[in-house]
């Protein structure tokens, strides 16, 4: 049985309408966009939206399917990956989420649902290093993020980059995955900088 990539939260907080549409394709400028299989890039990404946008997406096109508090979009992003929207009761409040699920994996949607519930019912707010990096990528404007091109070592080609401005002027590109803790903190909004990495048992 095919297993899709693990679910991963890619934005901290609730997206606005503008942010939601921007989040639908966080990788639009990647190299070889139309030449590779993007399933591994998109499948598993999820983030929170608001009720109005959830309801609007339900009305915009006929759904591929509706299952209780979940529905899937008829239009596929790539291969068998499509948008799935969730309305989930968490700690007594209904919250709304968008996720990319690979429907060729029969367990992907349920695994996503359970992951979101588990992640969002943590008693203390926290962010893993990967979540911090994904939030930075999601909130950085296209002009200040990109992908390592042919000027980079062959082993780095295609990896994500973000721009840093030096205090004395000038700017430099750095690999997203290679950012130090200090560089990550500098890129995050103040209210997210000091969240713990994990939640104590």
Question: For 69-108, what is each residue's pLDDT tens digit?
Answer: 999 998 888 788 999 999 999 999 999 999 999 999 999 9
Q: Is residue 41 one of the residues assigned to a domain?
A: yes
Pair 71, 164 in one domain: no
CB atoms under 10 Å from CB of 104, counted, come to 14
Domain boundaries, position 92: 8-120
Q: Which of 92, 120, 148 is the C-terminal boundary of a domain? A: 120
Task: Give the per-residue pLDDT at 200.
Answer: 41
149 and 61, same domain (yes or no):
no
Backbone angles phi, psi at 112, to 5 degrees: -65, -45
> Tokens 């713990």 belong to which residue?
196
Residue 89, classified by CB atoms within 10 Å of its CB into exposed (0-12), middle (13-18) or buried (19+), is: exposed
Task: Please indicate, yes or no, whether residues 81 and 56 belong to a single structural domain of this protein.
Answer: yes
* Residue 1 within any structural domain of the chain: no
Q: Is the pTM of this model over 0.95?
A: no
Contacts 24+ apart (CB under 8 A), 50-56: 50/14, 50/15, 50/16, 50/96, 51/94, 51/96, 52/17, 53/15, 53/17, 53/20, 53/96, 54/85, 54/87, 54/96, 54/98
134: how many CB neighbours lie within 10 A of its CB? 22
Closest CA relative to residue 5, chosen from 85, 135, 76, 107: 107
120, 154, 175 — which closes off a domain?
120
Lowest mean pLDDT: which of 82-91, 114-123, 134-143? Answer: 114-123
pLDDT, residue 194, reads 83
Which residues are CB-contacts of 35 (< 8 A; sequence separation ≥ 6)?
A: none
Query: How many domains does the chain contain in total?
Result: 2
Model confidence band, residue 185 (pLDDT cutoffs 50, 70, 90): very high
In a domain, 2, yes or no: no
Residues 26 and 109 in one domain: yes
User: Residue 28's pLDDT is what?
Assistant: 82
Check whether residue 111 and residue 167 sit in a common domain: no
Q: Is residue 3 in some structural domain?
A: no
pLDDT at 24 exceeding the cut of 70: yes
Query: 29 and 59, same structural domain?
Result: yes
Domain identity same for 111 and 27: yes
């Amino acid at each position: 049985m095919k297993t899709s990539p693990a679910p991963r939260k890619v934005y901290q907080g609730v997206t606005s309408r503008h942010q939601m549409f921007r989040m639908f394709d966080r990788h639009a400028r990647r190299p070889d966009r139309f030449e590779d299989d993007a399933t591994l890039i998109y499948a598993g990404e999820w983030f929170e939206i608001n009720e109005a946008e959830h309801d609007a997406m339900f009305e915009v096109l006929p759904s591929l399917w509706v299952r209780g508090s979940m529905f899937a979009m008829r239009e596929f992003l790539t291969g068998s990956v499509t948008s799935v929207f969730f309305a989930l009761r968490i700690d007594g409040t209904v919250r709304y989420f968008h996720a990319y699920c690979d429907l060729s994996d029969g367990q992907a949607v349920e695994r996503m649902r359970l992951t979101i519930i588990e992640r969002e019912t943590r008693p203390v707010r926290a962010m893993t290093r990967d979540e911090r990096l994904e939030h930075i990528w999601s909130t950085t404007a296209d002009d200040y993020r990109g992908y390592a091109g042919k000027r980079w070592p062959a082993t780095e080609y295609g990896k994500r980059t973000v721009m840093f401005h030096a205090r004395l002027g000038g700017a430099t590109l750095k690999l997203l995955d290679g950012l130090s803790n200090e560089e990550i903190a500098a890129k995050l909004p103040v209210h997210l900088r000091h969240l713990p990495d994990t939640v104590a048992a």
